[in-house]
Structure 1
Amino acid sequence: MNQLLRMFFIFMKIGTFTLGGGYAMIPLIQDEIVEKNKWIDEDEFIDIIALAQTIPGALAINTSTYIGYRLFGFKGALLGCIGTMLPSVVIILIVAAFFLQFQNNVWVEAIFRGIRPAVVALILAAVIKLGKTLPKSILNIGWVIGSVLCITLFHIHPILVIIFSGILGYMLFKGENSDEDNC
């Protein structure tokens, strides 16, 4: 029970202090869940992020719900989801109550102009951290570059890139883990 509550408060802390959405939360979740608590290893974390991106919903909530379920079953999924979501809901309600008063406030605008670069840095840090775990091969590097080009240059929807990557990955790698599949 202590570990379950600990996980809840970890996700609540991450949800409270992370601006910029799910991608900005990835390095914090990774630090807490993989590195500090060692509840999940690096490879499984990468798989969870990939899975969380392929299903509908917010990345951080999908990730925390899956991790909670993986660690503590249904109660873990529920508390992981609530822990991640609760701070945002409270903050949104507070902001909504006072937004009209402060929307043109010079101080508020200055604060948000300062926060934006930090959010970009968090997202970039997540990309770099996740990229370090990717096996370095010409195929993987080409796959990353091709995916980025498809999304940014050719405006192909990320969901289509993910689906195509999954199909291509299945076709290319389906025989590599045959020993694990039999376990």
Structure 2
Amino acid sequence: MNTSNELQNEPNPLSTGRALTQLVIAMVRTGVVGYGGGPSIIPLVRHEAVVRYRWISDDEFAEILALANTLPGPIATKMAAYLGYRLKGMLGAVIGILAHILPTTLAMVLLLGILMRLSGEKAVKGMIAAVNPVIVAMLAGMTYDFARKSYKGLGKWIALLCGVVAFVLLEIVHVPTAIVVLLYLAYGAGHLFLVSWVRSRMRKTKGDA
């Protein structure tokens, strides 16, 4: 089991061959193991990129995830494309997308008849039902990590307020997710600018004194 300290390690520089090999293995693994759509794959991608191979930091993953949510298209392919591009440019982006979607696409084409026949079987339904709690637990774990970082960065009350406001906007007012993400990105930029400005003024005041 990896510790939280491993999540804070700096990304590793890699040779082209090794980077592409790791990328293919990671994207095939997330594409094949992932079940339940984009949100369920996010913790798997995070584990590969942050914990296992340390291509990026945990904070950068959160920023990438926020930006990816504002763009159209499946979240998993956007993450695969970015990680590949981050590692080895356009070649990496293409390989990342293909490695993520190609194995499952081929499997669906080859096994479609079998899946259609077994989809109504009790055993298959039981297997699918057993997977759902695992997905919930993985998403909950990732949410906890992000919430903990928000608590440390913003403070308890501001982090709690941001969470409540986001819940109201998404679940009660039904504001589109992309708009909520953009609003919070704008708030984060403003918050960072304000904190930097206040600290700069304080340092200047102490220097004058």
Q: 2:95 corresponds to which residue?
A: 79
1:59-138 aligned at under 5 Å gives the runs 59-134=75-150, 135-137=153-155, 138=157
Q: 1:151 corresponds to which residue?
A: 170
Give the partner amino acid of 1:67.
L
Gap regions ≥5 residues in structure 2: 1-16, 198-209
SS in structure 1 of the partner of residue 106 of structure 2 = helix
Measured after TM superposition, the shift of residue 136 of structure 1 is 4.2
Measured after TM superposition, the shift of residue 18 of structure 1 is 1.8
Taking structure 2 as the reference length, the TM-score comes to: 0.75
CA displacement, residues 136-182 of structure 1 (integer Å, 9 cap, x when unaligned): 4222321122101211122222122123223333444446679xxxx
Q: 2:187 aligned with 1:168, yes or no?
A: yes
Aligned residues: 178
Cα RMSD after superposing both structures: 2.2
Per the alignment, do residues 163 and 94 of structure 1 end up closer, same or farther by CA in structure 2, a change over 3 Å counting?
same
Gap regions ≥5 residues in structure 1: 179-183
1:27–1:129 Cα contact (<8 Å) kept: no
Greater relative CO, 1 or 2 (CA 8 Å, sep 6+): 1
Measured after TM superposition, the shift of residue 107 of structure 1 is 1.3
1:39–1:71 Cα contact (<8 Å) kept: yes
Per the alignment, do residues 65 and 55 of structure 1 end up closer, same or farther by CA in structure 2, a change over 3 Å counting?
same
Taking structure 1 as the reference length, the TM-score comes to: 0.84
Larger Rg: 2
Overall identity of the aligned pairs, in %: 23
